Amino acid sequence: MASETSPARISIYDAAAANRWRTVLLVVAFTAIIALLGYFVGEYFYPGGGLAVLPFALALSLGSAFTSYFAGDRIVLAQSQARELAPNEETELHNVVETLAIGLGIPVPKLYVIEDSAPNAFATGRDPLHASVVVTRGLIDKMDRTELEGVIAHELSHVGNRDIRVMLLVTILVGTVALLADWMWRSMFWGRGRGRDRGGGNAIIAVVAIVLAILTPIIATLIQLAVSRQREYLADASGALLTRYPPGLASALRKIAADREVLEVANKATASLYIANPLKDAPTFLDHLFDTHPPIEERIKRLEAM
Amino acid sequence: MEIVVLIVIVAAIALFFVATYNRLVTLRQRVKEAWADIDVQLKRRHDLIPNLVETVKGYATHESTVFQNVTQARAAAVAAGASASPQERAQAENMLTTALRSVFAVAENYPQLQAVQEFKDLSENLTATEDKIAFARRFYNGNVRDYNTSLQTFPTNVFAGMLGFGPEQYFELAEATEREVPQVKF
Protein backbone atom coordinates (compact mmCIF):
# COMPACT_ATOMS: atom_id res chain seq x y z
CA MET A 1 0.00 0.00 0.00
CA ALA A 2 2.98 2.27 0.39
CA SER A 3 3.31 4.38 -2.67
CA GLU A 4 6.01 6.79 -3.69
CA THR A 5 3.78 9.43 -5.20
CA SER A 6 1.33 10.87 -2.75
CA PRO A 7 -2.20 10.28 -4.08
CA ALA A 8 -3.21 13.85 -3.41
CA ARG A 9 -0.95 14.93 -6.25
CA ILE A 10 -2.94 12.72 -8.62
CA SER A 11 -5.73 14.72 -10.24
CA ILE A 12 -9.07 13.03 -10.73
CA TYR A 13 -8.25 12.86 -14.43
CA ASP A 14 -5.23 10.61 -13.75
CA ALA A 15 -7.09 8.45 -11.26
CA ALA A 16 -9.92 8.10 -13.76
CA ALA A 17 -7.53 7.03 -16.51
CA ALA A 18 -5.95 4.41 -14.22
CA ASN A 19 -9.38 3.09 -13.35
CA ARG A 20 -10.33 2.81 -17.01
CA TRP A 21 -7.47 0.34 -17.46
CA ARG A 22 -8.36 -1.41 -14.24
CA THR A 23 -11.92 -1.90 -15.51
CA VAL A 24 -10.73 -3.51 -18.73
CA LEU A 25 -8.28 -5.70 -16.82
CA LEU A 26 -10.95 -6.80 -14.37
CA VAL A 27 -13.42 -7.78 -17.06
CA VAL A 28 -10.72 -9.73 -18.93
CA ALA A 29 -9.51 -11.46 -15.76
CA PHE A 30 -12.99 -12.44 -14.64
CA THR A 31 -13.96 -13.61 -18.12
CA ALA A 32 -10.86 -15.82 -18.10
CA ILE A 33 -11.67 -17.20 -14.65
CA ILE A 34 -15.24 -17.99 -15.60
CA ALA A 35 -14.21 -19.50 -18.95
CA LEU A 36 -11.63 -21.71 -17.23
CA LEU A 37 -14.16 -22.79 -14.66
CA GLY A 38 -16.69 -23.50 -17.41
CA TYR A 39 -14.19 -25.47 -19.46
CA PHE A 40 -13.25 -27.81 -16.63
CA VAL A 41 -16.85 -28.26 -15.53
CA GLY A 42 -17.62 -29.30 -19.09
CA GLU A 43 -14.71 -31.72 -19.19
CA TYR A 44 -15.68 -33.11 -15.84
CA PHE A 45 -19.25 -33.89 -16.72
CA TYR A 46 -18.74 -34.79 -20.31
CA PRO A 47 -15.18 -35.60 -21.39
CA GLY A 48 -14.36 -33.61 -24.50
CA GLY A 49 -17.30 -31.32 -23.86
CA GLY A 50 -15.31 -28.52 -22.28
CA LEU A 51 -15.05 -26.51 -25.49
CA ALA A 52 -18.80 -26.72 -25.98
CA VAL A 53 -19.34 -25.09 -22.61
CA LEU A 54 -16.92 -22.26 -23.36
CA PRO A 55 -19.35 -20.08 -25.36
CA PHE A 56 -21.90 -20.31 -22.56
CA ALA A 57 -19.32 -19.41 -19.94
CA LEU A 58 -18.19 -16.44 -22.04
CA ALA A 59 -21.76 -15.33 -22.62
CA LEU A 60 -22.44 -15.57 -18.90
CA SER A 61 -19.41 -13.55 -17.85
CA LEU A 62 -19.87 -10.88 -20.51
CA GLY A 63 -23.59 -10.81 -19.76
CA SER A 64 -23.02 -10.15 -16.10
CA ALA A 65 -20.37 -7.56 -16.90
CA PHE A 66 -22.82 -5.72 -19.17
CA THR A 67 -25.62 -6.01 -16.65
CA SER A 68 -23.48 -4.59 -13.89
CA TYR A 69 -22.25 -1.80 -16.14
CA PHE A 70 -25.67 -0.61 -17.22
CA ALA A 71 -28.01 -1.68 -14.43
CA GLY A 72 -25.73 -2.47 -11.50
CA ASP A 73 -26.42 0.81 -9.72
CA ARG A 74 -30.18 0.24 -9.90
CA ILE A 75 -29.74 -3.31 -8.58
CA VAL A 76 -27.63 -2.11 -5.67
CA LEU A 77 -29.96 0.80 -4.88
CA ALA A 78 -33.01 -1.46 -4.90
CA GLN A 79 -31.27 -4.05 -2.75
CA SER A 80 -30.32 -1.39 -0.22
CA GLN A 81 -33.89 -0.08 -0.16
CA ALA A 82 -32.65 3.41 -0.96
CA ARG A 83 -35.15 6.18 -1.73
CA GLU A 84 -34.31 9.21 -3.85
CA LEU A 85 -34.36 12.49 -1.94
CA ALA A 86 -36.50 15.26 -3.42
CA PRO A 87 -34.69 18.61 -3.97
CA ASN A 88 -36.59 20.23 -1.09
CA GLU A 89 -35.78 17.44 1.39
CA GLU A 90 -32.63 17.77 3.49
CA THR A 91 -31.57 21.02 1.85
CA GLU A 92 -28.36 21.20 3.89
CA LEU A 93 -27.26 17.80 2.59
CA HIS A 94 -28.16 18.83 -0.97
CA ASN A 95 -26.06 21.95 -0.52
CA VAL A 96 -23.07 20.00 0.77
CA VAL A 97 -23.26 17.58 -2.18
CA GLU A 98 -23.66 20.37 -4.76
CA THR A 99 -20.85 22.48 -3.32
CA LEU A 100 -18.36 19.64 -3.13
CA ALA A 101 -19.32 18.37 -6.60
CA ILE A 102 -18.49 21.83 -7.95
CA GLY A 103 -15.16 21.73 -6.14
CA LEU A 104 -14.36 18.42 -7.81
CA GLY A 105 -15.65 19.52 -11.21
CA ILE A 106 -18.19 16.71 -11.58
CA PRO A 107 -21.94 16.89 -12.26
CA VAL A 108 -24.10 16.81 -9.12
CA PRO A 109 -24.98 13.14 -8.48
CA LYS A 110 -28.43 11.93 -7.47
CA LEU A 111 -28.97 11.71 -3.74
CA TYR A 112 -30.57 8.74 -1.95
CA VAL A 113 -31.40 7.93 1.64
CA ILE A 114 -31.67 4.58 3.46
CA GLU A 115 -34.03 4.79 6.41
CA ASP A 116 -31.76 3.10 8.93
CA SER A 117 -30.23 4.59 12.04
CA ALA A 118 -26.76 3.04 11.51
CA PRO A 119 -24.57 5.85 10.11
CA ASN A 120 -23.00 4.92 6.75
CA ALA A 121 -22.81 6.01 3.11
CA PHE A 122 -21.78 4.79 -0.33
CA ALA A 123 -21.60 5.95 -3.93
CA THR A 124 -22.46 3.96 -7.03
CA GLY A 125 -23.01 4.34 -10.76
CA ARG A 126 -21.03 3.83 -13.97
CA ASP A 127 -19.61 7.33 -14.46
CA PRO A 128 -20.06 10.83 -12.98
CA LEU A 129 -23.05 11.45 -15.28
CA HIS A 130 -24.82 8.36 -13.95
CA ALA A 131 -23.79 8.51 -10.32
CA SER A 132 -25.71 8.26 -7.07
CA VAL A 133 -24.65 9.04 -3.52
CA VAL A 134 -26.49 7.15 -0.79
CA VAL A 135 -26.53 8.10 2.89
CA THR A 136 -28.37 6.52 5.80
CA ARG A 137 -30.78 8.42 8.02
CA GLY A 138 -28.35 7.77 10.88
CA LEU A 139 -25.60 9.64 9.04
CA ILE A 140 -27.82 12.71 8.54
CA ASP A 141 -28.89 12.68 12.18
CA LYS A 142 -25.60 11.95 13.91
CA MET A 143 -23.07 13.98 11.90
CA ASP A 144 -22.44 17.69 12.14
CA ARG A 145 -21.71 19.81 9.09
CA THR A 146 -17.93 19.26 8.84
CA GLU A 147 -18.29 15.52 9.39
CA LEU A 148 -20.99 15.33 6.73
CA GLU A 149 -18.71 17.25 4.37
CA GLY A 150 -15.90 14.80 5.08
CA VAL A 151 -18.06 11.77 4.29
CA ILE A 152 -19.61 13.30 1.16
CA ALA A 153 -16.17 14.41 -0.10
CA HIS A 154 -14.94 10.83 0.32
CA GLU A 155 -17.91 9.49 -1.66
CA LEU A 156 -17.59 12.12 -4.39
CA SER A 157 -13.91 11.25 -4.76
CA HIS A 158 -15.02 7.70 -5.55
CA VAL A 159 -17.30 9.17 -8.22
CA GLY A 160 -14.65 11.50 -9.66
CA ASN A 161 -11.98 8.79 -9.69
CA ARG A 162 -14.37 6.43 -11.50
CA ASP A 163 -13.95 4.01 -8.58
CA ILE A 164 -17.68 3.46 -8.58
CA ARG A 165 -17.59 1.62 -11.89
CA VAL A 166 -14.79 -0.69 -10.82
CA MET A 167 -16.50 -1.37 -7.50
CA LEU A 168 -19.79 -2.14 -9.19
CA LEU A 169 -18.20 -4.50 -11.73
CA VAL A 170 -16.18 -6.28 -9.07
CA THR A 171 -19.19 -6.68 -6.81
CA ILE A 172 -21.30 -8.31 -9.49
CA LEU A 173 -18.52 -10.33 -11.18
CA VAL A 174 -17.38 -11.76 -7.85
CA GLY A 175 -21.00 -12.62 -7.20
CA THR A 176 -21.18 -14.47 -10.52
CA VAL A 177 -17.99 -16.43 -9.86
CA ALA A 178 -19.17 -17.36 -6.38
CA LEU A 179 -22.52 -18.46 -7.76
CA LEU A 180 -20.89 -20.59 -10.49
CA ALA A 181 -18.43 -22.23 -8.14
CA ASP A 182 -21.16 -22.94 -5.66
CA TRP A 183 -23.35 -24.48 -8.32
CA MET A 184 -20.46 -26.60 -9.61
CA TRP A 185 -19.52 -27.70 -6.13
CA ARG A 186 -23.03 -28.90 -5.43
CA SER A 187 -23.40 -30.75 -8.70
CA MET A 188 -20.12 -32.56 -8.06
CA PHE A 189 -21.49 -33.92 -4.84
CA TRP A 190 -24.95 -34.76 -6.03
CA GLY A 191 -24.28 -34.61 -9.73
CA ARG A 192 -24.83 -36.84 -12.65
CA GLY A 193 -21.19 -36.52 -13.58
CA ARG A 194 -20.37 -39.17 -16.11
CA GLY A 195 -16.65 -38.60 -15.88
CA ARG A 196 -16.47 -40.34 -12.56
CA ASP A 197 -17.03 -43.78 -14.04
CA ARG A 198 -13.99 -43.51 -16.19
CA GLY A 199 -10.42 -43.71 -15.09
CA GLY A 200 -7.18 -42.28 -16.48
CA GLY A 201 -7.00 -38.69 -17.60
CA ASN A 202 -10.36 -37.87 -16.14
CA ALA A 203 -9.04 -38.21 -12.63
CA ILE A 204 -6.69 -35.32 -13.30
CA ILE A 205 -9.50 -33.26 -14.74
CA ALA A 206 -11.67 -34.06 -11.76
CA VAL A 207 -8.93 -32.91 -9.40
CA VAL A 208 -8.39 -29.71 -11.39
CA ALA A 209 -12.11 -29.05 -11.44
CA ILE A 210 -12.41 -29.52 -7.71
CA VAL A 211 -9.39 -27.36 -6.96
CA LEU A 212 -10.76 -24.65 -9.25
CA ALA A 213 -14.14 -24.82 -7.59
CA ILE A 214 -12.51 -24.21 -4.24
CA LEU A 215 -9.94 -21.65 -5.27
CA THR A 216 -11.70 -19.35 -7.74
CA PRO A 217 -14.18 -17.80 -5.34
CA ILE A 218 -11.43 -17.25 -2.80
CA ILE A 219 -9.13 -15.66 -5.35
CA ALA A 220 -11.96 -13.54 -6.72
CA THR A 221 -12.83 -12.32 -3.25
CA LEU A 222 -9.21 -11.54 -2.45
CA ILE A 223 -8.95 -9.45 -5.62
CA GLN A 224 -12.06 -7.58 -4.60
CA LEU A 225 -10.80 -6.88 -1.11
CA ALA A 226 -7.29 -5.88 -2.08
CA VAL A 227 -8.59 -3.45 -4.67
CA SER A 228 -11.18 -2.00 -2.32
CA ARG A 229 -8.88 -1.40 0.65
CA GLN A 230 -6.38 0.60 -1.36
CA ARG A 231 -9.15 2.69 -2.84
CA GLU A 232 -10.47 3.71 0.56
CA TYR A 233 -7.15 5.30 1.54
CA LEU A 234 -7.06 7.13 -1.78
CA ALA A 235 -10.63 8.40 -1.42
CA ASP A 236 -9.90 9.52 2.17
CA ALA A 237 -6.91 11.49 0.93
CA SER A 238 -8.62 13.10 -2.05
CA GLY A 239 -11.70 13.81 0.04
CA ALA A 240 -9.56 15.59 2.62
CA LEU A 241 -7.88 17.53 -0.15
CA LEU A 242 -11.29 18.62 -1.42
CA THR A 243 -12.64 19.90 1.91
CA ARG A 244 -9.19 21.12 3.05
CA TYR A 245 -10.23 19.81 6.45
CA PRO A 246 -9.07 16.24 7.25
CA PRO A 247 -10.35 16.34 10.89
CA GLY A 248 -13.94 16.40 9.54
CA LEU A 249 -13.69 12.96 7.98
CA ALA A 250 -11.55 11.65 10.86
CA SER A 251 -14.19 12.63 13.35
CA ALA A 252 -16.94 11.13 11.19
CA LEU A 253 -15.05 7.84 10.95
CA ARG A 254 -14.58 7.82 14.70
CA LYS A 255 -18.32 8.27 15.20
CA ILE A 256 -19.11 5.51 12.70
CA ALA A 257 -16.63 3.16 14.39
CA ALA A 258 -18.08 3.86 17.83
CA ASP A 259 -21.60 3.13 16.58
CA ARG A 260 -22.41 -0.53 17.20
CA GLU A 261 -25.54 -0.67 15.08
CA VAL A 262 -25.61 -3.02 12.10
CA LEU A 263 -26.95 -1.73 8.80
CA GLU A 264 -29.70 -4.25 8.05
CA VAL A 265 -29.84 -3.79 4.29
CA ALA A 266 -26.12 -4.35 3.68
CA ASN A 267 -24.81 -7.77 2.76
CA LYS A 268 -21.49 -9.40 1.95
CA ALA A 269 -21.69 -8.33 -1.70
CA THR A 270 -22.48 -4.68 -1.09
CA ALA A 271 -20.39 -4.23 2.08
CA SER A 272 -17.29 -3.12 0.20
CA LEU A 273 -19.19 -0.21 -1.36
CA TYR A 274 -19.76 1.55 1.97
CA ILE A 275 -17.45 4.12 3.55
CA ALA A 276 -16.98 1.83 6.58
CA ASN A 277 -17.78 -1.85 6.96
CA PRO A 278 -21.55 -1.89 7.67
CA LEU A 279 -21.63 -5.50 8.87
CA LYS A 280 -19.55 -5.03 12.03
CA ASP A 281 -18.88 -8.75 11.93
CA ALA A 282 -16.80 -10.39 14.61
CA PRO A 283 -13.08 -10.55 13.84
CA THR A 284 -11.63 -13.95 12.96
CA PHE A 285 -8.04 -15.05 12.56
CA LEU A 286 -8.35 -14.40 8.84
CA ASP A 287 -9.67 -10.98 9.72
CA HIS A 288 -7.20 -8.84 7.87
CA LEU A 289 -7.16 -10.98 4.76
CA PHE A 290 -10.91 -10.70 4.42
CA ASP A 291 -11.38 -7.10 5.51
CA THR A 292 -13.31 -5.06 2.98
CA HIS A 293 -11.98 -1.90 4.56
CA PRO A 294 -8.68 -0.82 6.04
CA PRO A 295 -8.86 -0.60 9.82
CA ILE A 296 -10.63 2.62 10.79
CA GLU A 297 -7.92 3.48 13.36
CA GLU A 298 -5.34 3.38 10.58
CA ARG A 299 -7.46 5.63 8.36
CA ILE A 300 -7.97 8.11 11.20
CA LYS A 301 -4.25 8.10 11.94
CA ARG A 302 -3.45 8.91 8.32
CA LEU A 303 -6.03 11.69 8.23
CA GLU A 304 -4.65 13.20 11.40
CA ALA A 305 -1.12 13.11 9.98
CA MET A 306 -2.14 15.28 6.98
CA MET B 1 20.30 4.63 -44.97
CA GLU B 2 20.57 8.31 -44.09
CA ILE B 3 17.14 8.82 -45.58
CA VAL B 4 15.62 6.30 -43.16
CA VAL B 5 17.31 7.94 -40.17
CA LEU B 6 16.10 11.33 -41.34
CA ILE B 7 12.54 10.10 -41.78
CA VAL B 8 12.54 8.53 -38.32
CA ILE B 9 13.81 11.73 -36.72
CA VAL B 10 11.27 13.89 -38.54
CA ALA B 11 8.45 11.50 -37.65
CA ALA B 12 9.49 11.47 -33.98
CA ILE B 13 9.53 15.26 -33.87
CA ALA B 14 6.15 15.46 -35.58
CA LEU B 15 4.68 12.92 -33.16
CA PHE B 16 6.06 14.88 -30.23
CA PHE B 17 4.49 18.08 -31.55
CA VAL B 18 1.12 16.43 -32.07
CA ALA B 19 1.12 14.90 -28.57
CA THR B 20 2.13 18.16 -26.90
CA TYR B 21 -0.39 20.16 -28.88
CA ASN B 22 -3.21 17.77 -27.99
CA ARG B 23 -2.27 17.74 -24.32
CA LEU B 24 -2.27 21.53 -24.16
CA VAL B 25 -5.65 21.68 -25.89
CA THR B 26 -7.10 19.22 -23.36
CA LEU B 27 -5.71 21.15 -20.40
CA ARG B 28 -6.92 24.49 -21.76
CA GLN B 29 -10.35 22.99 -22.37
CA ARG B 30 -10.49 21.91 -18.70
CA VAL B 31 -9.68 25.48 -17.65
CA LYS B 32 -12.55 26.76 -19.80
CA GLU B 33 -14.99 24.22 -18.36
CA ALA B 34 -13.95 25.12 -14.83
CA TRP B 35 -14.43 28.78 -15.65
CA ALA B 36 -17.99 28.06 -16.77
CA ASP B 37 -18.68 26.61 -13.30
CA ILE B 38 -17.55 29.83 -11.63
CA ASP B 39 -19.57 31.87 -14.08
CA VAL B 40 -22.79 30.00 -13.24
CA GLN B 41 -22.36 30.61 -9.51
CA LEU B 42 -21.44 34.28 -9.91
CA LYS B 43 -24.55 34.84 -12.03
CA ARG B 44 -26.62 33.11 -9.38
CA ARG B 45 -25.23 35.50 -6.80
CA HIS B 46 -26.03 38.51 -9.02
CA ASP B 47 -29.60 37.24 -9.39
CA LEU B 48 -30.13 36.93 -5.64
CA ILE B 49 -28.96 40.41 -4.73
CA PRO B 50 -31.87 42.56 -6.06
CA ASN B 51 -34.33 40.45 -4.02
CA LEU B 52 -32.19 40.83 -0.93
CA VAL B 53 -31.99 44.59 -1.39
CA GLU B 54 -35.77 44.84 -1.81
CA THR B 55 -36.42 42.76 1.29
CA VAL B 56 -34.02 44.68 3.50
CA LYS B 57 -35.19 48.04 2.11
CA GLY B 58 -38.69 47.34 3.35
CA TYR B 59 -37.45 47.42 6.93
CA ALA B 60 -34.34 49.59 6.85
CA THR B 61 -35.69 52.65 5.14
CA HIS B 62 -32.98 55.10 6.16
CA GLU B 63 -29.92 53.31 4.81
CA SER B 64 -30.06 54.39 1.17
CA THR B 65 -26.26 54.75 0.72
CA VAL B 66 -25.72 51.10 1.57
CA PHE B 67 -28.30 50.03 -1.00
CA GLN B 68 -26.87 52.37 -3.58
CA ASN B 69 -23.41 50.95 -3.03
CA VAL B 70 -24.48 47.35 -3.38
CA THR B 71 -26.61 48.08 -6.44
CA GLN B 72 -23.68 49.86 -8.08
CA ALA B 73 -21.25 47.10 -7.15
CA ARG B 74 -23.62 44.53 -8.57
CA ALA B 75 -23.99 46.47 -11.83
CA ALA B 76 -20.21 46.69 -12.08
CA ALA B 77 -19.84 42.95 -11.42
CA VAL B 78 -22.48 42.10 -14.03
CA ALA B 79 -20.74 44.35 -16.55
CA ALA B 80 -17.38 42.75 -15.77
CA GLY B 81 -18.99 39.33 -16.28
CA ALA B 82 -19.72 40.14 -19.91
CA SER B 83 -16.16 40.59 -21.10
CA ALA B 84 -13.51 41.21 -18.49
CA SER B 85 -10.52 39.01 -17.62
CA PRO B 86 -10.60 36.78 -14.53
CA GLN B 87 -8.50 39.33 -12.67
CA GLU B 88 -10.84 42.26 -13.38
CA ARG B 89 -13.84 40.12 -12.61
CA ALA B 90 -12.36 39.07 -9.29
CA GLN B 91 -11.87 42.76 -8.43
CA ALA B 92 -15.49 43.59 -9.22
CA GLU B 93 -16.68 40.57 -7.22
CA ASN B 94 -14.55 41.59 -4.24
CA MET B 95 -16.20 45.04 -4.26
CA LEU B 96 -19.58 43.35 -4.37
CA THR B 97 -18.68 41.10 -1.42
CA THR B 98 -17.71 44.12 0.66
CA ALA B 99 -20.93 45.94 -0.23
CA LEU B 100 -22.97 42.83 0.60
CA ARG B 101 -21.33 42.61 4.00
CA SER B 102 -22.49 46.11 4.84
CA VAL B 103 -26.05 45.16 3.83
CA PHE B 104 -25.95 42.27 6.28
CA ALA B 105 -24.41 44.52 8.92
CA VAL B 106 -27.33 46.93 8.49
CA ALA B 107 -29.82 44.07 8.58
CA GLU B 108 -28.51 43.06 11.99
CA ASN B 109 -29.88 46.29 13.46
CA TYR B 110 -33.44 45.29 12.56
CA PRO B 111 -34.58 42.32 14.67
CA GLN B 112 -37.95 42.17 12.88
CA LEU B 113 -36.14 41.62 9.59
CA GLN B 114 -34.23 38.67 11.06
CA ALA B 115 -37.54 36.95 11.69
CA VAL B 116 -38.78 37.31 8.09
CA GLN B 117 -38.73 33.95 6.31
CA GLU B 118 -37.86 35.47 2.95
CA PHE B 119 -34.80 37.18 4.44
CA LYS B 120 -33.69 33.94 6.09
CA ASP B 121 -34.05 32.02 2.82
CA LEU B 122 -32.18 34.68 0.88
CA SER B 123 -29.26 34.87 3.28
CA GLU B 124 -29.03 31.05 3.42
CA ASN B 125 -29.06 30.94 -0.38
CA LEU B 126 -26.38 33.59 -0.58
CA THR B 127 -24.16 31.79 1.91
CA ALA B 128 -24.56 28.52 -0.03
CA THR B 129 -23.72 30.35 -3.26
CA GLU B 130 -20.60 31.93 -1.74
CA ASP B 131 -19.52 28.44 -0.67
CA LYS B 132 -20.01 27.17 -4.19
CA ILE B 133 -18.08 30.09 -5.63
CA ALA B 134 -15.20 29.28 -3.29
CA PHE B 135 -15.12 25.63 -4.38
CA ALA B 136 -15.59 26.43 -8.08
CA ARG B 137 -12.70 28.86 -7.77
CA ARG B 138 -10.50 26.24 -6.19
CA PHE B 139 -11.25 23.77 -8.99
CA TYR B 140 -10.61 26.44 -11.62
CA ASN B 141 -7.31 27.51 -10.06
CA GLY B 142 -6.20 23.87 -9.86
CA ASN B 143 -6.81 23.47 -13.57
CA VAL B 144 -5.07 26.74 -14.37
CA ARG B 145 -2.08 25.58 -12.33
CA ASP B 146 -1.90 22.27 -14.25
CA TYR B 147 -2.17 24.05 -17.60
CA ASN B 148 0.33 26.78 -16.79
CA THR B 149 2.82 24.30 -15.36
CA SER B 150 2.57 22.24 -18.52
CA LEU B 151 3.02 25.36 -20.60
CA GLN B 152 6.01 26.71 -18.75
CA THR B 153 8.09 23.57 -18.41
CA PHE B 154 10.82 22.64 -20.85
CA PRO B 155 10.61 21.87 -23.76
CA THR B 156 6.99 22.93 -24.19
CA ASN B 157 7.78 26.52 -23.22
CA VAL B 158 10.01 26.89 -26.30
CA PHE B 159 7.27 26.53 -28.88
CA ALA B 160 3.94 26.82 -26.96
CA GLY B 161 3.76 30.50 -27.92
CA MET B 162 4.22 29.61 -31.57
CA LEU B 163 1.26 27.22 -31.35
CA GLY B 164 -0.87 29.98 -29.88
CA PHE B 165 -0.99 28.93 -26.22
CA GLY B 166 -0.62 31.57 -23.52
CA PRO B 167 -0.84 31.26 -19.74
CA GLU B 168 -4.27 31.56 -18.11
CA GLN B 169 -5.06 33.85 -15.18
CA TYR B 170 -5.90 32.65 -11.70
CA PHE B 171 -9.15 33.76 -10.15
CA GLU B 172 -8.19 35.33 -6.82
CA LEU B 173 -10.86 36.35 -4.37
CA ALA B 174 -10.13 38.10 -1.10
CA GLU B 175 -10.98 35.37 1.36
CA ALA B 176 -10.14 35.65 5.00
CA THR B 177 -10.73 32.03 5.91
CA GLU B 178 -8.97 30.13 3.17
CA ARG B 179 -7.97 26.77 4.61
CA GLU B 180 -4.51 25.45 4.08
CA VAL B 181 -3.84 22.53 1.76
CA PRO B 182 -3.30 19.45 3.92
CA GLN B 183 -0.06 17.56 3.39
CA VAL B 184 -0.84 14.03 2.30
CA LYS B 185 1.81 11.40 2.83
CA PHE B 186 1.52 7.71 2.08
Residues 6 or more apart whose CB falls under 8 angstroms from that of B181 comprise A241, A244
Told to judge if A155 belongs to the known catalytic residues of this protein, a careful annotator would answer yes
Tell me which chain B residue has its CA closest to the CA of residue A233.
B186
Chain A partners of B179 at a C-beta cutoff of 8 Å? 244-245
The residue among B124 and A222 whose pLDDT is bigger is B124
Q: Where are the domains of chain A?
A: 7-81+162-305
pLDDT for residue B58:
84
Q: Among A35-49, A120-134, B72-86, name the one with the lowest average pLDDT.
A: A35-49
Please give, rounded to a whole number of angstroms, the shortest distance from the CA of A122 to a CA of chain B: 22
**A78 class by beta-carbon count within 10 Å (0-12 exposed, 13-18 middle, 19+ buried):** exposed
Chain B partners of A90 at a C-beta cutoff of 8 Å? none
Please give the average per-residue pLDDT across A1-22, as a whole number: 59
Assess B43–A contact: CB distance below 8 Å, yes or no. no
pLDDT per residue as tens digits for the range A55-98: 887 888 788 778 878 888 898 899 889 999 998 889 889 999 99
Please give the average per-residue pLDDT across A279-298, as a whole number: 64
% pLDDT > 70, chain A:
82
pLDDT for residue A94:
94
Assess A2–B contact: CB distance below 8 Å, yes or no. yes
pLDDT for residue A290:
59
pLDDT for residue B173:
74
pLDDT for residue A50:
73
Q: How far apart are CA A213 and CA A181, in angstroms?
A: 5
Which position among A155, A261, A264, A298 bears the catalytic label?
Answer: A155
pLDDT per residue as tens digits for the range B134-174: 899 989 999 999 999 989 888 888 888 888 888 888 888 76
Tell me which chain B residue has its CA closest to the CA of residue A102.
B136
Q: Where are the alpha helices (DSSP H) in chain A?
A: 12-45, 50-79, 91-104, 137-142, 145-160, 163-190, 201-243, 246-258, 296-305
% pLDDT > 70, chain B:
93
pLDDT for residue B177:
46
3-state secondary structure (DSSP) of residue B60: coil
pLDDT per residue as tens digits for the range B29-54: 999 999 998 999 999 999 999 988 88
Assess A99–B contact: CB distance below 8 Å, yes or no. yes
pLDDT for residue A280:
66
pLDDT per residue as tens digits for the range A243-283: 888 999 999 999 998 888 888 888 766 777 888 888 766 55
Please give, rounded to a whole number of angstroms, the shortest distance from the CA of A103 to a CA of chain B: 4
- Tell whether pTM > 0.90: no
A125 C-beta neighbours (distance < 10 Å), count: 24
pLDDT for residue B62:
79
In this predicted structure, the answer to whether residue A285 has a pLDDT above a threshold of 60 is: no
The residue among A29 and A49 whose pLDDT is bigger is A29
Please give the average per-residue pLDDT across B86-98, as a whole number: 89
Q: How far apart are CA A168 and CA A269, in angstroms?
A: 10
Nearest to B29 by CA among B146, B155, B160, B157: B146
Please give, rounded to a whole number of angstroms, the shortest distance from the CA of A240 to a CA of chain B: 7
- pLDDT band at residue A4, thresholds of 50, 70 and 90? very low
Domains contained in chain B, CATH given? 2-159 (1.20.1440.20)
Q: How far apart are CA B120 and CA B52, in angstroms?
A: 10
What does the DSSP assignment read for A21-65?
HHHHHHHHHHHHHHHHHHHHHHHHHSTT-HHHHHHHHHHHHHHHH
Residues 6 or more apart whose CB falls under 8 angstroms from that of A242 comprise A100, A103, A104, A153, A156, A157
Please give, rounded to a whole number of angstroms, the shortest distance from the CA of A186 to a CA of chain B: 45
Answer for the pair A6, B184: CB distance below 8 angstroms, yes or no. Answer: yes
pLDDT per residue as tens digits for the range A139-189: 999 999 999 999 999 999 999 988 888 888 877 777 777 777 777 777 666
pLDDT for residue A7:
43
In this predicted structure, the answer to whether residue A1 has a pLDDT above a threshold of 60 is: no
- pLDDT band at residue A5, thresholds of 50, 70 and 90? very low
Peptide bond into A278 cis (omega under 30): no
Assess B37–A contact: CB distance below 8 Å, yes or no. yes
Tell me which chain B residue has its CA closest to the CA of residue A99.
B132
Q: Which of A152-156, A217-221, A225-229 has the highest mean pLDDT?
A: A152-156
**C-alpha angle B104/B107/B113, rounded to 5°?**
130
Mean model confidence pLDDT for chain A: 80
pLDDT for residue A225:
67
Assess A81–B contact: CB distance below 8 Å, yes or no. no
pLDDT for residue B116:
87
**B19 class by beta-carbon count within 10 Å (0-12 exposed, 13-18 middle, 19+ buried):** exposed
Q: How far apart are CA A201 and CA A206, in angstroms?
A: 9
Assess A79–B contact: CB distance below 8 Å, yes or no. no
Q: How far apart are CA B59 and CA B182, in angstroms?
A: 44
Please give the average per-residue pLDDT across B104-110, as a whole number: 86
Pick from A102, A129, A244 the residue to mutate for testing the B interface (most B CBs within 10 Å): A102
Q: Max CA-CA distance within chain B? A: 90
Tell how far CA A120 is from the center of its chain.
15
